[in-house]
Amino acid sequence: MNIIDPAPVRKETPLKLYGEEFHSRLLLGTAQYPSPKILCDAVKASRTEIVTISLRRENARQKEGRKFIDLIGSLDVRLLPNTAGCNSVKEAVATAEMARELFDTPWIKLEVIANNDTLQPDLLGLLGAARVLLRDGFKVLPYMTEDLSIAEKLIEAGCEVLMPWGAPIGTGQGLRNPEALKTLRAYFPDIPLIIDAGIGAPSHAALAMEFGYDAILLNTAVAKAHDPVTMAKAFALAIDAGRNAHVAGLMEPRDMAAPSTPIAGTPFT
């Protein structure tokens, strides 16, 4: 019996952000976990290489915050501080500067919030803060809506990555405006695009990756799951599946049925 060799496994193209390469396409938040151990186990199960951390939250914890930072440092992942809770350019810039000093990194997830109920980004404030920080040597990952015009302006300012929301932070609604997200992807084919916020299920993440998005950033869907560790693994698998499907090439939907098995040559006609 002849044994057919399996097809070679396709080598995945690394995710490139500001000149650095990452093999995981899942970025994970670190808030709201039931315990430090569960957080650590979830990070490991997710295979993430980048985790986000809120400077304001850790400042509020004081000594406890220092222990938390040391814990995250032991996981061998890149720390991505964010400016969560900032409502103005001044606040966001000051928070980013403190984060750079505290964590010794120029990377910053930039948030400037317009409305505290919806947590919708203030796009004008976001652009203003990004311009200041980029001039000061920061590597800015801006949390934005799917707006094309602000995307163009952020890229012109020097952003090499864009992070549009799928839905408002913490809602778990998934991709609320899929057509706009597809348009954004088509309009900026060479810019890394990361869905940030609103992802509630692994299927949401897989769909975004099928659209051609480069990565997913999420927090609540894992941290608040009944079993965060298993959920982290589920998201990692879903993102891999969506990415592979996009690279392989999804079939186009058809208006009419088409048999997968030809009817010509069948014994009954």
> How far is 27 from 72, CA to CA, in rounded Å?
14
Q: For 80, phi and psi rounded to 5 degrees?
A: -115, 95
**Strands 107-110 vs 139-144: parallel, antiparallel or unpaired:** parallel
CB 204 within 8 A of CB 27: no
Retrieve residue 50's tokens. 């980048």
Q: Report the number of secondary-structure helices (H) and strands (E) in the chain.
A: 10, 10
CB 108 within 8 A of CB 78: no
> How far is 181 from 195, CA to CA, in rounded Å?
9
CB 29 within 8 A of CB 52: yes
CA angle 159, 168, 212 (to 5 degrees): 55
Q: Which of 109, 139, 153, 233 is catalytic?
A: 109
CB 181 within 8 A of CB 163: no
**Strands 20-22 vs 15-17: parallel, antiparallel or unpaired:** antiparallel
CB 203 within 8 A of CB 238: yes
Q: Is 109 a catalytic residue?
A: yes
- Collapsed DSSP state (helix, strand, coil) of residue 144: strand
Q: Which positions are catalytic?
A: 109
